[in-house]
Amino acid sequence: MATTHGDTTSTGPRERAAGYQRNTLDILESEAIFVIREVAAQFERPVMLFSGGKDSIVMSWLARKAFYPGRIPFPLMHIDTGHNFDETIRYRDWWMEQIEARIIVRSVEDSIKQGRVKEEDGPNPSRNGLQTVTLLDALSEFKFDCALGGARRDEEKARAKERFFSFRDRFGRWDPKNQRPELWNLYNGMKRPGEHLRAFPISNWTELDVWQYIQREEIELPNLYYTHEREIVRRDGVILAIGPYNQPVDGEAAETAWVRFRTIGDMTCTGATESRASSLADIVNEIAATRVTERGGRADDKRSEAAMEDRKKQGYF
């Protein structure tokens, strides 16, 4: 598998605009790296969560840059819902080699087998709720005291008030009323035994920032993000991929369309968008012109207006 990052030839002095100007991406990159290093320094056993989505790919790339020529001083962890696209899994293993990182995988499937959780019924069984249990179990299994996540504040209203360092009680719960004020760039990661924190280094990035950064850094993404022909079904205004975990139900018709994904999560609830964008430049243009938020394509957020807030309180990201 060819890579474009392995290129070590360009080590000359960076071109710098006159007057020491720094653009948005430089500022956001530096801020995210600062937060990732704070986590590495302040915690005994941090972990970085990896979903295979573009945000966690960017976050792990930032971790790579933060410590280079050293290796990332903590493991990454993937909570596999068992409903992932095959390509996500293949990409994950390839990407870990590129960034020389170590990955731990824990699966919802196992949690179901162990009777920790029970699968939802109905035509649209989502494992998003279930993965919270698997995640919390994994955190305590490895005694992780801080989990880095790729959440962004622009994704959803409840996240607009999230901190960089988000405090969770002994039950992994997020209490919006019990968050620590964050001043300047001073992040307080102190905690008592049993408590842990979540840290969100790309809090201040927007979807467009992420795509522009991917373009600038020439990061390779799974093909799912680019246009491809796929069997889909339209359900409640959301385009869902047809696959082993998701079949058309009564009255729904399967069709073939040119689609791509704006986010990649569980196959059962990640909506695709019709798009012909085949390059990063196409995608950046498409995002800049788009009129629907990326979570608008996620069936799980549509369940109620405060859906995200409720899931967060239970320990979801």
Q: Does 30 bind another protein (CB under 8 A)?
A: yes
Binding mask 31-50 for another protein (x = CB under 8 A): x-xx--xx-xx---------
Q: Does 169 bind another protein (CB under 8 A)?
A: no
Q: Which is nearer to another protein, 80 or 209 (CB)?
A: 209
Cα separation, 186 vs 227, whole angstroms: 42
For 59, 188, 219, 284, the CA distances from 213, given in Å and listed in that order, are 11, 28, 8, 10
Q: Does 102 bind another protein (CB under 8 A)?
A: no
Minimum CB–partner distance for residue 110 and another protein (Å): 27
Among 50, 74, 85, 91, binds another protein (CB under 8 A): 91
Q: Does 170 bind another protein (CB under 8 A)?
A: no
Q: Which is nearer to another protein, 109 or 179 (CB)?
A: 179
Interacting residues of 268 by C-beta distance below 8 A, sequence separation 6+: 83, 124, 125, 126, 127, 240, 245, 246, 299
Q: Does 113 bind another protein (CB under 8 A)?
A: no
Among 89, 104, 124, 206, binds another protein (CB under 8 A): 206
Residue 258: what are its φ and ψ, rounded to 5°? -85, 115
Positive or negative: CA dihedral 106, 109, 114, 118: positive
Cα separation, 231 vs 292, whole angstroms: 22
CA-based angle 95:284:128, to the nearest 5?
Answer: 55
For 171, 175, 228, 270, the CA distances from 193, given in Å and listed in that order, are 12, 18, 48, 36
Ramachandran quadrant class, 52 (left: phi over 0; alpha: psi -120 to 50; beta: rest)? left
Kindly indicate which of the ranges 49-57, 120-128, 151-159, 249-257 contains the residues binding another protein, using the contact rule CB under 8 A.
151-159
Q: Which is nearer to another protein, 113 or 161 (CB)?
A: 161
Among 122, 192, 244, 250, binds another protein (CB under 8 A): 192
**Closest among 194, 61, 81 to 134, alpha carbons compared:** 81
Q: Which is nearer to another protein, 58 or 117 (CB)?
A: 58
Minimum CB–partner distance for residue 196 and another protein (Å): 12
Among 109, 110, 169, 182, binds another protein (CB under 8 A): 182
Q: Does 188 bind another protein (CB under 8 A)?
A: yes
Kindly indicate which of the ranges 120-128, 133-141, 205-213, 265-273 contains the residues binding another protein, using the contact rule CB under 8 A.
205-213
Q: Does 171 bind another protein (CB under 8 A)?
A: no
Among 60, 111, 126, 203, binds another protein (CB under 8 A): 203
Among 66, 108, 240, 299, binds another protein (CB under 8 A): 66
**Cβ atoms 91, 85 nearer than 8 A:** no
Kindly indicate which of the ranges 50-58, 119-127, 135-143, 292-300 contains the residues binding another protein, using the contact rule CB under 8 A.
292-300
Q: Which is nearer to another protein, 114 or 176 (CB)?
A: 176
Long-range contacts of 281-288 (CB under 8 A, 24+ apart): 281/215, 283/211, 283/215, 283/225, 283/226, 284/208, 284/211, 284/212, 284/215, 287/207, 287/208, 287/211, 287/262, 288/208
Minimum CB–partner distance for residue 192 and another protein (Å): 7
Among 102, 119, 141, 281, binds another protein (CB under 8 A): 281
Q: Does 289 bind another protein (CB under 8 A)?
A: yes
